[in-house]
Structure 1
């Protein structure tokens, strides 16, 4: 009988020692190459129109209207107003949506949605005309169009929080999370895709309707757009319409990237 014994186990060597690769979801980047298609298309569309205007035989009125410095200032003003509207909408709609999904305040949910629906149903140009009787300027437009755009974010916040599985919330509470911890670490992250979709809708609505603010002196691309209609200058009309469309596409694209970055990897 031999006095030596075989070891109970051997440490694997070679390729078996290598650890398994990370799951694909942990290496997923927020930005994909297909995401560059939208900004590239927007740049090409603007470049094509600018090239046409640079080589076209334009009269003095059109040349003054499409002056690069003037158009750039109007575009930045339009973007600034749109962002202010979006920030105000998010600051109002998301907390309000969270509030009405809490058990003790659920009874006010129908009234809140009814008011938001009324704001969405009212014509934006009519609201601006009424407000313009009493007050004109930037904040009049921001307030009116924020009221007009609040419904998509509010409704999606409510729906997004209500669709979170109750079992997930119960498990979080069982782990000792406080109500605020469940809200910020479980409910809101899982509701990000739906809330983000509403926010992107509100952004596009804001960009599209800010042009009406020109009627009460808010600035933006509305002056370029409606001025071209009054003067019958189609070259200016095309440029203004193209810029508004491009801004809407770009803010929706940027909103999509932000939404994806805040969405948990497992549900992207």
Structure 2
């Protein structure tokens, strides 16, 4: 009988602790759903500095306000549901459709241009340590060069800066983003962007989509080195 009482007591105790853990988990998730601030203070401040560097004539980032607001609820921001880290920034131009801008009336084109973000990209993005997706396509950055610090966003899986009127030399530091799966920098209608070196592309081992349409590659000096890393053999060799 003593053995039986011990077994029942042991099972009851285990059951109690299991119920206690489940209750605590329920409380945690209930708190998150009740509207408490989810995003991290440092990342909220980083996003605010990023916003201050942008030109936003249409006030698309109107929700990006407040020292205590939940930045995970801001327009274009997606966070991890549990940790609160910012994982994605989606800020493409007007509805993400660039093509139609070339066929609109003057008034519609003017309004469309107003909807595009401009300015410069703040290095405060580097404080978003878990950022995996950055989409600033279809905006108008008026020929500024893509900043080299982008190459330090090491956790990025998708980077889309296409058709946003960037210019100058494409920074080879992008080759440091070894986790990239998708890289879009091109423009169907041509761009003033150019590239001196190709070798950095060979570092992107996980890349399965690359868009560099319209980029001037005539100045690239390492074509053969780059092609050799892809297993290409010159027909003249």
Give the TM-score normalised by the residue count of structure 2: 0.21
Which structure is higher in strand share?
2
Which structure is higher in helix share?
1
Structure number with greater CO (CA < 8 Å, separation at least 6) is 1
